[in-house]
Chain A
């Protein structure tokens, strides 16, 4: 592997900031354990935006939750490791994880209204977060809070800092959430569907803001979304998830224009486009399997038109396919 990689003219020093190694998350139930994430491995480099796409239930949000240590019980990590800057973080005691969360890894969620406390002004929430993680006096923290609000594009931040969340519109609220995430200058932001609840014109503004901040501050972003358009504009690399596994991972350009895995191909062809008219959309028959009925071998094999015998018996590993990596026996043979 080369030491320096070049994605979209952005130079990224090849030292992974975050590394997932064979991560496995299970949900124990009365009828036995459900495997929600199965052998998920990928890295996020410094300053890089990794897009994670997949349909609902594919395990994208769960991967994000596992990284920030907010898996909802009874879900738990039962295998594999998560490394942040050479430090293993999946087995940290809750207290250590708490101080890491916010300081090293921050999170942005879909609905900005539920991420903010309605009873406190945004200024109070920002200064609290800043003072928790950074050694600052109240007036320093307040000054920094105003700076953060200005940075995220909120007009008249000196005035807005004393407002309550309900006094902000949806787009402005998401900006406040981003300011909160940036409060302690984290190295990684896990953004779980940050634009899904917003209208298209506001969505474009938020995407632009995230890109700009990642560029200016060198923050890595894990962008979880089901919207390939958002991924295309924002991400440097993309991981496609299916049934709790990574089906394909690679640079954004090749994932969109030259997908290798049959699932990625089907997914890309099923998206209607505003720029071109198609009579019919390509469709993948069937639906993603439920967690209690994941097929043997490749999880996609019952829906795959290219499936061979081996797909039904043996699970494929991620292998090099062009400039991406795909988990597919058809490509391997």
Chain B
């Protein structure tokens, strides 16, 4: 471990050539105030929910960045910010150096829009496919929207090819989503996402609604596609085992903030942030048949009134007075990881 931690903000971006997508100090606030009249009559102030609070990270070309955290920590908001479904309240998301504010209008080299290059796979394959459309129409939609192919036979051929790539038959194009199982529907979503030849896929809990044996099929398929097409993934999940399986680097979120960003190996061999440790410790384990453990007490605080300083300090076994006062920034602890925790600051003792 390095003697002095360096602030991530002061680091020169050495590998900027490799970086595909980058979030710089991104925040997203939602206005959750009472209606205007109530505010006037009851003299209530405006209230904001900080779903994502000054988040910075980057994803390199061809890598899988795993984002993990409990429900309500802001993972899905990050996904939506990165594909441009939400706009940032503060900060910026850059794709290959282009800020993504108006995804559809930005063209690269005058022809390919960013929308084509960034696609998303959603959690629930029952809700994300239009039940009135045939699978062929669903998969062909991106081709038509972006005017990639105009000829009907060419579109049909491309759809058949895409379906074959995700392990479905060309004849499935004529069927409707309800005729498929959950795993097969998720394959259809993947085929649709791949139709516009994207470089970056945001996968928001793509296997959470699936059974384990089907999850294994979908995860293997996603790995194969990544290798053959050089795709970059942002993979969001609450399941640490899945994150470990798919990711190259992992970001851990708690109440809208990143608390630890590390390489897969570094994180799962020895997590540093107390929250990451707690998460790892809480997972039921196949190796621990019949054994007891002491789970960390307490629950995730209300995001409308997050604790002062470090958001984790009320539940943290190593909390110090400083943790309640100041907010720790993500700092580079060694070459493979950044941690937002005062315990890993300049000259403080490290919890062990």
Residues of A within 8 A of B (CB): 8-9, 55-56, 169, 171-172, 199-205, 207-208, 211, 226-230, 232-234, 236, 252-253, 256, 266-268, 270-275, 277-278, 280-285, 287
The answer to whether B213 and A270 touch across the interface, beta carbons within 8 angstroms, is yes
CB-based nearest B residue for A198 = B71
Q: Which residues of A have CB within 8 Å of B220?
A: 280-281, 283
The answer to whether B284 touches A203, judged by C-beta atoms less than 8 angstroms apart, is yes
Residues of B within 8 A of A (CB): 70-71, 181-184, 211-217, 219-220, 223, 238-242, 244-245, 264-265, 268, 278-297, 299-300
Residue pair B244, A277 in contact (C-beta under 8 Å): yes
A284 to B218, CA, bound (A): 11
Closest 9 CB pairs of A and B: A229-B284, A270-B216, A204-B295, A55-B211, A8-B290, A281-B216, A272-B245, A199-B70, A204-B282
Instruction: Name which residue of chain A comes closest to B285, CB basis.
Output: A229
Q: With A208-B293, A208-B295 given, is the CB distance from A230 to B241 under 8 Å?
A: no
Known contacts: A201-B295, A204-B295, A281-B216. The answer to whether A272 contacts B283 by CB under 8 A is no
- The answer to whether B286 and A199 touch across the interface, beta carbons within 8 angstroms, is no
- Name the residue among B240, B244, B284, B293 with the largest chain A CB count within 10 angstroms: B284
Q: Please report the C-alpha to C-alpha distance between residue A201 and residue B279 in the assembled complex, in whole angstroms.
A: 6
| Chain B residue at smallest Cβ distance from A201 | B282
Q: How far is the CA of A271 from the CA of B245 in the complex (A)?
A: 10
Closest CB-CB distance, B295 to chain A, in whole Å? 4
Residues on B with C-beta less than 8 A from A282 are 216
Chain A residues positioned under 8 Å from B184 (CB to CB): 287
Residue of A nearest to B275 (CB): A201
Q: B176 CB to closest chain A CB, in angstroms?
A: 16
Complex CA gap A233/B283 in Å reads 10
Does A205 lie within 8 Å of B295, measured CB to CB? yes
- Cβ contacts A to B, 5 pairs, < 8 Å: A8-B289, A201-B299, A204-B293, A208-B293, A277-B268
**Complex: A277 Cα to B266 Cα, angstroms:** 12
Task: Collect the chain B residues with CB atoms within 8 Å of residue A287's CB.
Answer: 181, 183-184, 214
Whether A283 lies near B290 (C-beta < 8 A) is no
Partner of A270, one of B215, B286, B299: B215
Cross-chain contact A252 with B285 (CB below 8 angstroms): no
Q: B63: shortest Cβ distance to chain A, in Å?
A: 16
A228 to B183, CA, bound (A): 19
Q: A234–B285 Cα gap in the complex (Å)?
A: 10
Hey, which chain B residues are within 8 Å of A277, CB to CB? Answer: 244-245, 264-265, 268
Q: Cβ of A207 and Cβ of B284 under 8 Å apart?
A: yes
B212 touching A273, Cβ below 8 Å:
no
Contact A228 B290, beta carbon cutoff 8 Å: no
Q: Is B299 touching A283 in the complex (CB atoms < 8 A)?
A: no
Question: How far, in Å, is A276 (CB) from chain B's closest CB?
Answer: 9
> Which of A253, A274, A281, A284 contacts B268 (CB under 8 A)?
A274
Q: Would you call A233 and B217 a contact (CB within 8 A)?
A: no
